[in-house]
Structure 1
Amino acid sequence: MKLWIRDRGLLLVNAALFLISFVGMVISGVLNYNEEQRAHGEPGVTLLGFFGTGDFLEATFENWESEFLQMGMYVVLTAYLFQRGSSESKLPDKHEPQDDDPRTAATERDTPWPVRHGGLLLRLYEHSLSIMFFVLFAASFLLHAVGGSEAYNEEQASHGAPGVTVFGYMATSRFWFESFQNWQSEFMVIAVMIGASVYLRERGSVESKPIAMAHRDTDT
């Protein structure tokens, strides 16, 4: 059991941090939502009822969409672009194992089955990581619009103004402000990580080059 946990520690700890943060978001979110409802003379909701509100959907998925977009773009861009000296980049003048054509690889029993099968399955599998992120981004983007439109229509109704459809909400400046304010922060962090890893180090981390390695060199 200890060996199993050790081999999956990075995933398990990050999953636990996500769950803790998610629970914290939900609890604080329902308290904030009910405070706003009372301030407008409207009834509050239970903890479970909060999951069906536009506020919950909007707050959750406008953040998730930016994370999935960030990672999907990062996966694709690192396949084609370079930053010499960064631990986040391949070397521009060296063939990397990630560029090998799997069709010429010797297959074994534990080789991923799409590689052994070939054809269209292999074609999709070659890009399955970015496909997953972009599918999750598209789903989160749509759910952000659904939740945002519900929250927007509640506000409109409280002011006696007409509501909008989901697609109508996607045409508002509010929807795009919510999206871009998250997207810009995600790409900023990635740019900082790429540039900082050229000159700064973290001993023991796979995200860092060896401490004594020259800034221009890249360990891949």
Structure 2
Amino acid sequence: MKKQTFLYRNGLSIVFILLFLVTLTAQAFTGWKEHNQELVDDNGREIGFATYLYTGHFVSATFENFQSEFLQMGLYVLLTVGLRQQGSAESKSLDEEEEVDKEPVSKPGAPWPVRKGGIWLKLYSNSLSIVFFLLFFISWGLHLYGSWMDNNAEQQLKGKATESMLEYIAQPRFWFETFQNWQSEFLSVLSIVVLTIFLRQKGSPESKPVDAPNMKTGS
């Protein structure tokens, strides 16, 4: 058997890590420029790049996106346990038992929670959705904190009174930021669920085989 390189074995995660770091850096740099322009327009003083990374402007913008992504993935993982979509490559079979539904068996090579059993097995059996929702709630909280900080910074520049977090969360701005992200994530999931019924991508595990019937469910 040909020995595979580290890059070959981990290429997908490496590429997405690099894309994430490049785009996060680009977001931070352009956000810094935009924020400084806003400060100047409101008769404030420009701030340095390092200082910007601690502002509500950056924290809110960053975690506003994170929380919607984690919510999307958490719901997707959980809802695909019981819900089906005929013909979709993203759905389990309509009537056949899937490998993922079988009870875990303690055997050599199985993850240690499987071999341990009990509460550890129960937690591990649901660990993917648990972690996604945990990341969602953390990101949601940081988005709220950053958005509140940014709002109060704007209020101070305009000579207005700042608001408590409870006062701010009752305002529409935070929820507008939240819902505009959630709806886009739900649309993207809907797109891949429905489009994989009729469309194909040769070689992708997210697609059915090119010659598969449209109404074949699962990949």
Task: Among all aligned residue pairs of Structure 1 and Structure 2, give the percentage whose two residues are the same amino acid.
Answer: 41
Match of 2:18 in 1: 16
Distance in 2 separating the partners of 1:157 and 1:194: 46
Distance in 2 separating the partners of 1:11 and 1:89: 23
Instruction: In structure 2, list runs of 5 or more residues that go unmatched.
Output: none
Partners of 2:202 and 2:210 within 8 A in 1 = yes
1:78-93 superposed matches below 5 A? 78-93=80-95
Residue among 58, 77, 80 paired with 2:60: 58
Offset of 1:106 from its aligned partner? 4.3
Partners of 1:61 and 1:144 within 8 A in 2 = yes
Greater shift after overlay, 76-85 or 1-10?
A: 1-10
Offset of 1:61 from its aligned partner? 0.5
Offset of 1:219 from its aligned partner? 4.3
Residue among 89, 98, 101 paired with 2:100: 98
Residue among 25, 30, 50 paired with 2:32: 30
Which amino acid in the other structure matches residue 43 of structure 1? R
Which amino acid in the other structure matches residue 107 of structure 1? K
The yes-or-no answer on 1:107 pairing with 2:107 is yes
Show structure 1 runs of 4+ deviating over 3 A. Answer: none
Offset of 1:194 from its aligned partner? 0.3
Which amino acid in the other structure matches residue 167 of structure 1? L
1:172-187 superposed matches below 5 A? 172-187=171-186
Output the TM-score relative to the length of structure 1.
0.95
Offset of 1:159 from its aligned partner? 2.6
1:1-220 superposed matches below 5 A? 3-102=5-104, 105-108=105-108, 110-220=109-219
Distance in 2 separating the partners of 1:113 and 1:165: 46
Distance in 2 separating the partners of 1:10 and 1:216: 29
Which amino acid in the other structure matches residue 139 of structure 2? S
SS in 2 for 1:178: helix
Q: Give the number of aligned pairs.
A: 217
SS in 2 for 1:8: helix
